[in-house]
Amino acid sequence: MSISLQNLRSITAGVTPPSLLPGQLCFNLADQKMFVGDGSDFFTYFDGTQQPAPAGAGWFEVPVGSGGLSNYYLENPCNYSPAPTSGQILAYSGTLGKPVWEDASTLGTGSVYVTTNAAVTVAPGVTVSDKISSAIGATPKEADSAIVTGLPGETYQGLYLFTSGNWTFAAGYADPEALQVPYNNAVSGLLAATVQAALDELAATKLPQASNTPQDQDILAWNSGSPVWQAASSVYPDASQVAFDPSSTGLPSFANDVQQALSLTWQLANTANTIATDAQADATAAQTTANIALNNSITAVNTANSAVTTANSALAVANAALPKAGGTMTGDIVFNTGQPVDAGTF
């Protein structure tokens, strides 16, 4: 393939050639890219992605400046600053828009100290910050950091940052305890601010999960300090399962459970009800008989009173009649004609 360099160039960012002949070169000065015609059917970009091209008019892309290569290669910082000296670090300069070699102290990265939980535990000092400073054996500066190694849950293990004159706990260096994990209680209804406090609150105020798997018709019951699923009969037994002492009730001794006692009590109550019913019937019959006798007595009295009245009437008539044998008349005799006869004249 022969290379032919023609007057193909662009100063507008983002412009790519619509096609190239094999061996043709095209430059985009704004993007610092070169496009090489390869006779393919694709436009191939530097990152490997492709797009369809006119048949035989494809090309591939090659960055030709630091801008085009910056996403793929690290530029030599000597192009932008002096050669590095011992202890310098490569940092990005926002002013230059490039990475440059600089002293770490000028960037405020500080020093990193490493000690152990055991060393901090025995180190002198009143506060945790004082003890860490004693354990590392150095005077810390702003932005310094310290790693206190240890096991999860140990008192001092963690990552600390030196800010405002004190070592401040930043994160657990080992796996954190539940106490060190913040907790969002906005939707839970709990008052806790950490996971540990939330767990403690649940343990103290919420019913723990039952220790066994429930069966059909089981109920949840409290047994020996924890909830368990139990058959209802074991918690609320049937009357026949409850022992009963009949000695203080007057019931027969064979009523040795509640069911028998209830059955016997029902029988006694039913018998008493029958007796009461029979007594009521007898009382009703006796009342009926008494009413009949009373009515008969009243009738007899009425009959006797009528006889007395009749006798009195007859006696009155008899008393007013003139005896047949004669007698002394003390009053006047009045005949039918109305002519009185004076008794004194005879």
Query: Which residue, among 105, 101, 125, has the nearest Cα to 115 in the 3D structure?
Result: 125
- Which region, left, alpha or beta, applies to residue 89 given φ > 0 means left and ψ of -120 to 50 means alpha? beta
**DSSP assignment, residue 323?**
P
Low-confidence stretches of the chain (pLDDT < 70) are 1-8, 10, 66-75, 77-82, 94-95, 104-110, 176, 207-208, 211, 233-242, 244, 249, 253-255, 258, 261, 264, 320-324, 326-346
| Chain centre to alpha carbon of residue 336 | 126
| Tens digit of each residue's pLDDT (9 = 90 or more) over 167-206 | 999 877 777 677 777 778 887 778 888 888 888 887 777 7
**DSSP assignment, residue 197?**
H
Q: Which residues does residue 305 pair with via DSSP β-bridges, in sequence order? A: none
The helix or strand, by DSSP H or E, that contains position 118, with its residue range, turns out to be: helix 117-122
Query: Which residue, among 199, 194, 233, 226, has the nearest Cα to 210 in the 3D structure?
Result: 226
CA distance 138 to 146: 11
Give me the residue spans of the domains in the chain. 4-69, 77-107, 113-175, 237-277
CA distance 161 to 145: 4
The model scores a pTM over 0.75: no
302's tokens: 């009425």
Query: Which residue, among 144, 147, 167, has the nearest Cα to 157 in the 3D structure?
Result: 147
Q: How many residues does the chain have?
A: 346
| Chain centre to alpha carbon of residue 73 | 57
Torsion of CA 175, 178, 180, 182, to 10 degrees: 120
CA distance 123 to 321: 158
**DSSP assignment, residue 113?**
E
Going from the C-alpha of 63 to that of each of 28, 292, 321, the distances in angstroms are: 10, 138, 177
- 163 phi/psi in degrees, rounded to 5: -135, 140
